[in-house]
Amino acid sequence: MPITVYRARKIITMNPMQPEATHVAVCDGRILGVGAREQLESWGRAALDERFADKVLLPGLIEAHCHLLEGSMWDMPHLGWFDRRDPRGKLWPGLRTLDAVVDRLDAATATLHAQGKAPTEPLFAWGFDPIYFGSERMTVKHLDRASRTNPIVILHANLHVMNVNSAMLQAAGIGPGTEAEGIVRFASGPLAGQPTGELREAAMYLVLRTAGASLMAPMRASGVRAFAALACMQGVTTATDMANTLTDDTCRVLEDVLADDAVGLRLLPAFQAFQGAHGASQGTQRVLELKRRNTDKLRYGLVKMMLDGSLQAFTGRVRWPGYFNGAPNGIWVTAPGQYEADFETYHRAGLSIHTHVNGDEASEAAINAIERVLTRAPRPDHRHTLHHGQMIDAPMFRRMANLGLCANLFINHLWYWGDQHFETILGPDRALRLDACGSALAAGVPLAIHSDAPVTPLGPLFTAWCAVNRITPKGRVLGASERISVAQALHAITLGAAHTLKLDHEIGSIECGKRADFCVLEDDPLQVEPMMLKDVRIWGTGLSGLWHEAAALRV
């Protein structure tokens, strides 16, 4: 097999036995060796490639909790508070008033009408986050200003809540007599008892069954390709789709797109084992069948479960003393007893289970359930992982370590909602232990960190910046003692993330035998100031020995 030796200004290997090097040899899509040029040439005749002689090579970055929605949602108007740039490079300015949100929706409905679409054509939008708007909540009164005929559906940034207008409520058959947890109603006035148009958690499915479940997970080849292009721009070579129905049509799209060598992404879609049509036994059978179709670039086998909702939506389950602003406790997306029973079914089948928990009550319920399952059905090296884990404290991390559990913390919360946690959601003291990376590592829990894109933008170096600096937009440092070093943060987005996915034998570090996956950087993340980590420039990626330049992939 032909051997190519690549020279770099610096290679950060994430291998503690050989932390740095200047050359790496690649053969047949794998790393043959790392070291000095003369050492690598002892393998045999090799071609020297110096295209990266002035660049820094890092293992391909791993986003172990995100969603393919980040590629496909941009076909819909974005209504977020922060500026966001889509995969095509278009900047969507943040919206700072509810009137601005309505204006963007009004413009979108005008576009539908100009295109000759029917006045009853649905309009979907996403990214809205009411927590930035104080006590005022969006209702049908706002959305009906944009259209009374076009059904409007707005998916919140947290993906746990939506707002709809009167036309959508009517189309979905939701009225004052509809009984479902999560339907918000007007408390007083002439509309008292009527739905406001805000739907939380399971109540959203009353709309999805009418508007189409694809609103939550549109699976189109164009969206997968857009996601792969965005991943390359952020140095990501391996990513998850952390809640996928894995229907035959969905799998066909994934398999067709990822078979293309021009798509530089390895994807792990996790089976959505909550609020779906399958029971745990059927779900287990489905995932085991799909695992037989695995390739280098498409890896079935993960299971996604969910206990509670979102803290910033006040649907997360929290322990005493509850939410700082006095909001009622959140929603069990899955009842704890059902969670335990389903978890045991997937666990006994040998599958890796990744569980969504946000509030500390939900985290404790998950740990308790898993402890009982492991007592009944011990299994070494299971690497089940708790995701988000915003309120996990030191005692819970110690229990997780004893049980062999991993943590994948949603550290981007520190920037996007840190001030709101301090002022409204958790209060000044509990906000200091938000996404406690330092405590996780001190307890010996294997750690990954993530963006949950599209909830926040895909970008592991920004995520690492959040973990290192723990700073909010108002300049608060939330929990200085929970900061981790740059080296530890880089580990969490490479080898640490690979560990949670049971792929650390293949990816996550640059060493002999592993996949030739690289993140190619213009700057050295270990040399820049920690506050500049998010600004490190990315040239592109290499996946199993094939190179992809980010500048050439903007779609």
DSSP class per residue in 58-120: EEPEEE-S--THHHHGGGS-B--SS-EE-TTS-EE----SHHHHHHHHHHHHHHHHHTT--TT
Dihedral-angle region of residue 154 (phi above 0 means left; psi in -120 to 50 means alpha; beta otherwise): beta
pLDDT-derived band at 218, boundaries 50, 70, 90: low
Angle in degrees, 0-180, between the axes of helices 360-376 and 394-403, rounded to the nearest 10: 20
pLDDT, averaged across the chain: 95
Give the model's pLDDT for residue 274. 85
List 241's β-bridge partners, or say none.
Answer: 269
Place of tokens 């393998």: 43
Give the model's pLDDT for residue 554. 54
Give the model's pLDDT for residue 89. 80
Q: Are 22 and 7 in contact (CB under 8 A)?
A: yes
How far out from the chain centre does Cα 390 lie? 14
Q: Are 519 and 58 in contact (CB under 8 A)?
A: yes
What are the structure tokens assigned to 74, written together? 């941009």
d(CA 534, CA 462): 4
Place of tokens 């270990």: 526
In the predicted model, what is the mean pLDDT of residues 548-555?
A: 74
d(CA 146, CA 457): 27
Who wins on pLDDT, 469 or 212? 469
Give the model's pLDDT for residue 553. 59
Q: Which of 499, 542, 496, 497 is nearest to 517 (CA)?
A: 542
d(CA 43, CA 45): 7
In the predicted model, what is the mean pLDDT of residues 157-162?
A: 91
Query: How do residues 332-364 score in pLDDT, each as one tens digit?
Result: 999 999 999 999 999 999 999 999 999 999 999
pLDDT-derived band at 134, boundaries 50, 70, 90: confident
pLDDT-derived band at 555, boundaries 50, 70, 90: very low
| Residue 161 parent element (H or E) | strand 161-164
Query: How do residues 63-111 score in pLDDT, each as one tens digit?
Result: 999 999 999 888 899 999 999 988 888 899 999 999 999 999 999 999 9
Give the model's pLDDT for residue 275. 67
Query: How do residues 458-490 score in pLDDT, each as one tens digit?
Result: 999 999 999 999 999 999 999 999 999 999 999
In the predicted model, what is the mean pLDDT of residues 31-41?
A: 95
Residue 304 φ/ψ, nearest 5 degrees:
-110, 125
How far out from the chain centre does Cα 167 lie? 32
pLDDT-derived band at 17, boundaries 50, 70, 90: very high
What structural domains does the chain harbor?
A: 3-54 (2.30.40.10), 63-68+216-548 (3.20.20.140), 81-156+160-215 (3.10.310.70)
DSSP class per residue in 322-357: --TT-PPP---SS-HHHHHHHHHHHHHTT-EEEEEE
Percent of the chain whose pLDDT exceeds 70: 97
d(CA 443, CA 404): 11
Whether 44 has a pLDDT exceeding 50, the answer reads yes
Strand, helix or coil at 228?
helix
Give the model's pLDDT for residue 213. 55
What are the structure tokens assigned to 472, written together? 């909010």
Give the model's pLDDT for residue 210. 81
Q: Are 40 and 25 in contact (CB under 8 A)?
A: yes
d(CA 383, CA 497): 11
DSSP class per residue in 495-536: HHHHHHTT-TTTSSS--TTSB--EEEESS-TTTS-GGGGGG-
Report strand pairing: 161-164 vs 195-200. antiparallel
Query: How do residues 231-289 score in pLDDT, each as one tens digit?
Result: 999 999 999 999 999 999 999 999 999 999 999 999 999 999 986 656 899 999 999 99
d(CA 246, CA 256): 14
Beta strands in 215-334 (DSSP E): 236-244, 266-272, 302-306
Query: How do residues 297-313 score in pLDDT, each as one tens digit?
Result: 999 999 999 999 999 99
